């Protein structure tokens, strides 16, 4: 080998994307995987509040079906003069409001405005209370 002086020499380096790890999507993880990921991030010192909200929502979300059913019952038994389509329309409207409330509280929890448990469970508590009230006051 002989010595050859140079002023510049191109050097192949890895792009910045090579060093970045993709954050896994919380929606695609199981409860156990997400809980383990949150614990790992907490020990590393990362901000984990949005993931804790997602973790709490994984427990709270299945109750949506029960609460929506309880909300629908009072409208199903009071067809009366308005007809069945009235109850269906009210049900669709309530579902949209419920879904929006879930999203708003999720965003408030992820932003740190409310606690993660409240962010996940508040819509269920609000609409569950409304469903129980409607069930108890419905005229048959």
Highest mean pLDDT among 38-47, 57-66, 68-77: 57-66
Q: How confident is the model at residue 134 (pLDDT cuts 50, 70, 90)?
A: confident
Asked if residues 107 and 45 have their Cβ atoms less than 8 Å apart, the reply is no
**What pTM was estimated for this model as a whole?**
0.73
Tell me: pLDDT of 139 over 70.
yes
- pLDDT at residue 127 in the model: 93
Distance between CA atoms of 132 and 128, rounded to whole angstroms?
A: 6
- pLDDT at residue 19 in the model: 78
Mean pLDDT, all residues of the chain: 86
- pLDDT at residue 105 in the model: 94
Q: How confident is the model at residue 125 (pLDDT cuts 50, 70, 90)?
A: very high
Asked if residues 29 and 37 have their Cβ atoms less than 8 Å apart, the reply is yes
pLDDT tens, position by position, 71-109: 888 877 766 676 667 777 887 888 899 999 999 999 999
Span 10-19, average pLDDT = 82
Asked if residues 138 and 77 have their Cβ atoms less than 8 Å apart, the reply is yes
Helices 49-60 and 116-137 meet at what angle, rounded to 10?
A: 30
Q: How confident is the model at residue 16 (pLDDT cuts 50, 70, 90)?
A: confident
Span 16-30, average pLDDT = 81
Distance between CA atoms of 108 and 47, rounded to whole angstroms?
A: 15
């Amino acid at each position: 080998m002989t010595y050859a002086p140079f002023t510049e020499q191109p050097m192949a380096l890895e792009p910045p994307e090579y060093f970045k790890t993709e954050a896994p999507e919380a929606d695609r993880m199981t409860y156990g995987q997400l809980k383990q990921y949150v614990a790992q991030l907490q020990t590393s010192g990362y901000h984990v509040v949005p993931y804790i909200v997602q973790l709490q929502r994984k427990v709270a979300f299945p109750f949506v079906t029960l609460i929506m059913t309880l909300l629908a019952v009072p409208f199903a038994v009071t067809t009366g003069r308005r007809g069945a389509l009235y109850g269906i329309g009210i049900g669709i409207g309530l579902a949209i409001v419920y879904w929006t409330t879930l999203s708003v509280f999720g965003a408030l929890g992820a932003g740190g405005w409310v606690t993660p448990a409240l962010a996940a469970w508040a819509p269920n508590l609000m609409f569950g209370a409304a469903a129980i009230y409607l069930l108890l006051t419905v005229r048959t």
